Structure 1
């Protein structure tokens, strides 16, 4: 009896459970479809990365002796949906059942469940915590905090553990990892890869089919197979991990990568496993090549934060991306699509997003995310922007980071406070402010940093909600001590700025 085995573009792992027991009568179904490429306007580099990686993965499966029914985007018979391709291939091969690894987005889980032929969705065992395991951990807790979940994952994996105790006697070395960086022409850059014939063909296809999507397609320097991804991992461990910890929150003009790994697109697509990446970091520390705070900080991002985000996404259910507890409703302004701005920090974060389909976590959280939250942008529009523009963005990981962590739209499920700041934080952690048209030291006036104005305006708009929050409530005492006229000017200038923003004027 013929079975169809579905492999999605973010499931490029040979150890998927449906592939482990695939037999000679099974047909692997892979497809480049318009529905997946276009449900948000994905960055052209993200589309090209996935299509090229999918094509190479299909070749590897064929080399294993498996039958692969692969649909390129420009196939005249392409139905341009995953359900449509499964039904087409079922009719073609006489298959009466589908085996799939559970997708990472609710919309696809539902779409597979609605097919008129039986579909078995198996758990995605590439993650450390199953849905049941996360639900059991979360049950009965008043607050779901990543730090406590992370400790469970450390115990489960044994990473950086000495018996039942954390290496060095502490679970978390975050206090050592908040240093600003200096420009360094000798700092190692991530490896780059020249497009091979497969990738070049995909680039031409993407260029022709998605000419208006935000983002530059070329130069395209991503690895598009596991061999290349392993080279990126090896380079990071050898050259950048040791300095990653202290400078992971730093931001520099025209230096988009600093000491970051740039591994998340490869992990999230399945070319690398999260555990092998973390084990490489732990081994480097054990060998004395990497300081503990760097290894711990890196591992925490993966087995802590990444796994926690997935747990929250599936725990909260399909309506999570519609949450908007603060009732923010402004449209996403043009600056997010690369339109001119006088704010150096936004120009830098959006500019490198356009050029590389990448920005690191502090640029996402404390620049583009912070600005959207302070300005009261509709969180669903913010969510769809992040989902569209980054090569590592899939809804299971992106939505909790944006709806929860960045925009506080879930009311505090992910974070205990909104991540808002004035311009002072950006000035402390970057070199952006020195060349900005605004002055970070100006609290009011024509050159006042917009983050300074919007910070207080946000707090006042939401005073009733946050005044008693122990992590942010003290700011209200500072506001109350201000001169009444100064407070009036701040609110008036913030309102004027938001009016210009809503009108689409450059800000």
Structure 2
């Protein structure tokens, strides 16, 4: 009897469980570009193009290995438009009544597959260091699920950067060495760029025609779209970018969109690279003496620490996680997130880069766009939708805990021990954005005051009942309380006026 093997657009690896359990002599691989996935949220066109191009190349790779692949293109007139619909259509076409799939990374798609009227087994996605069961066991009984402790267990499990049972270098992380402000210049030319081939060019034409109204530019598409290219990109970065990655991973610079960042998340998250493959390449560079330990450890922590941790949180917390809104923030996402005019140079830089590249690094996301949304009281569900839409590496299992938890504190502290908020001082320290801004980062009140300065105190004041007793925020409230009453009133009035202009759709 014929059996279907579903392969999704973020599972482009022969190592996925469904392919490992399948038999190319009798099973049919089903892959489909469908509007149900491309259009359920207004994805950046470059994100859609990356996934479709990589899917087409992976399908061709499987066919070259002897698999039969039933592939649906987006413009296929017979397409049902959904993953479930394509499974049923192919089941009828091939006379199949059974299917297997690797578990999707989104509760929405898991539920869709659960409802398909076929015998369909969803196999665990074991492309990660920690299984869902391992994470749940680690989390059981803990009052706080802090990433640092989980990360140390992952170091022990993998042996990465370990010397026996002790961390290499005598400490588990080197954060203090990885927070340098921007340097005078960058001597790394950025990620490896790939000229679109015939497959990619065809996808770009399709995406350009179908998603022209989506936020984001398709111009200068340079992403890797197959495993070989992704590995070339990784090797290029390890050699040229990794040595200084640690020092400047939190820095932000005008005109330098990538600094020393790896830009491997998008390839990891669709299956073109494997997490241990990436980490071992970084560890090997450290062992060879080519990179300092703060760079190697800082990167490896992002992969086997943070990436594994947020996946664990997503599946542990369940399908309702994305609807959490502990702080009851209700403001609509401002138009400046979709390219509307703004006088805030940091926001213009981060959003403009996002529009062009479908990429911004973690500090731009957390401490610029995320920080502003949290301080302004934007509905976290709308913030979540924006991040999921605009970044090429954004899939819900990784994006939601970063946004709902880390960025917006909407989960009430499951991920973060306090809200990640700052005034303009942090952005000024870690970037060159403030020097040419229409606002003055040193001004605390008045028409030219940096909005982050005003909104920072406004946030603390309106949420005092929740955070005043948080030991990590006590100094903030002591500083606020030492201000003269008339100054506090002025700060709150100026912040309120700013938010009123924001709500009115003015260019703030």
TM-score of the pair, normalised by structure 1 = 0.99
CA RMSD across the alignment: 0.6
Q: Does 1:21 align with 2:21?
A: yes
Aligned residue in 1 for 2:410: 409
Deviations 1:408-433 (A, max 9, x none): 00000000000000000000000000
Partner of 2:10: 10
Counterpart position of 1:55: 56
Compute the displacement of 1:219 (Å).
1.2
Displacement of 1:61: 0.3
Query: 1:184 is matched with which residue?
Result: 185
SS of 2:155's equivalent? helix
Counterpart contact for 2:32–2:72, Cα < 8 Å? yes
Q: Is the 8 A contact 1:57 1:225 kept in 2?
A: yes
Q: For residues 235-260 of structure 1, give each alpha carbon's deviation from its aligned partner in whole angstroms, at most 9, with x where no partner exists.
A: 11000101000100000011110000
> C-alpha separation between the residues in 2 aligned to 1:232 and 1:388?
24
- Determine if contact 2:186/2:259 at 8 Å carries over to the other structure: no
CA contact (8 A) 2:347 2:369 kept: yes
Deviations 1:119-168 (A, max 9, x none): 10000010111111000000000000000000000000000000111001
C-alpha spacing 1:203/1:183, structure 2 compared with 1 (3 Å): farther
What is the aligned partner in structure 1 of residue 91 from structure 2?
A: 90
- Asked if structure 1 preserves the Cα contact closer than 8 Å seen for 2:455 and 2:495, the reply is yes
The 5 Å alignment of 1:479-494 reads 479-494=480-495
Aligned residue in 2 for 1:354: 355
Does structure 2 conserve the Cα–Cα contact (< 8 Å) formed by 1:325 and 1:409? yes
User: What does 1:360-375 align with in structure 2 at a 5 Å threshold?
Assistant: 360-375=361-376
In the superposition, the TM-score normalised over structure 2's length comes to 0.99
Which residue in the other structure is 1:468 paired with?
469
CA distance in 1, matches of 2:429, 2:184: 15
Contact 2:343 2:437 in 1 (8 A): yes
Aligned residues of 1:183 and 1:252 also touching (Cα < 8 A):
no
CA distance in 2, matches of 1:464, 1:138: 28
Distance 1:383 1:249 in 2: 22
For 2:115, the equivalent position in structure 1 comes to 114
1:40 aligns to what? 41
Q: Are positions 1:420 and 2:421 aligned together? A: yes
**How do residues 361-400 of structure 1 correspond to structure 2 at under 5 angstroms?**
361-400=362-401
Other-structure match for 2:315: 314
- 1:79 aligns with 80
Q: Partners in 2 of 1:389 and 1:306 — Cα distance? A: 19
- Report the Cα distance in structure 2 between the residues aligned to 1:142 and 1:339, rounded to whole angstroms: 42
Q: 1:185, CA displacement in angstroms? A: 5.6
What CA deviation, in whole Å up to 9, does each residue of 1:194-242 have, x standing for no partner?
1000000000000000010000011111111111100110011000101
Alignment check: 8 A CA contact 1:250 1:429 kept: yes
1:79-478 correspondence to structure 2 within 5 Å: 79-184=80-185, 186-478=187-479
Q: Which deviations, in whole Å up to 9, do the C-alpha atoms of 1:431-479 show, x marking residues without a partner?
A: 0000000000000011000000000000001001000111112111111
Give distance in 1, aligned partners of 2:21 and 2:420. 45
Give the Cα–Cα distance (whole angstroms) in 2 for the partners of residues 22 and 413 of structure 1: 38
Distance in 2 (alpha carbons) for counterparts of 1:81 and 1:189: 37
Instruction: Spell out, residue by residue over 1:303-344, the C-alpha distance to the aligned partner (whole angstroms, 9 max, x if none).
Output: 000000000000000000000000000000001001111000
Q: What SS does the aligned partner of 1:497 have? A: helix
CA distance in 1, matches of 2:336, 2:17: 43
1:10-56 alpha-carbon deviations (Å, 9 max, x no partner): 00011112212321110000000001001110000000000000000
CA drift of 1:189 comes to 1.5
CA distance in structure 2 between the partners assigned to 1:186 and 1:290 by the alignment: 15
CA distance in 1, matches of 2:423, 2:66: 58
* Range with greater deviation from structure 2 (410-419 or 110-119): 110-119
CA distance in 2, matches of 1:30, 1:503: 45
The offset of 1:183, in angstroms, is: 4.2
| Equivalent residue number for residue 505 of structure 1 | 506
Task: Work out whether residues 376 and 499 of structure 2, in 8 Å CA contact, stay in contact via their aligned partners in 1.
Answer: yes
- Kindly state the Cα deviation for residue 118 of structure 1 after the two structures are TM-superposed: 1.1
Once residues 103 and 505 of structure 2 are traced to their aligned partners in structure 1, the CA distance between those partners, rounded to angstroms, is: 41
SS for the counterpart of 1:392 is coil
Does the 8 Å CA contact 1:247/1:259 hold for their aligned counterparts? yes
Shift of 1:184: 2.2
Q: Which ranges of structure 2 fall in alignment gaps of 5 or more residues? A: none
Q: How many residues are paired up? A: 507
Structure 1 position 188, deviation (Å): 2.6
Is the partner of 2:359 in helix, strand or coil? coil
Query: For 1:319, what is the secondary structure of its paired residue?
Result: helix
SS at match of 1:342: coil
Q: Distance in 1 between matches of 2:181 and 2:99?
A: 51
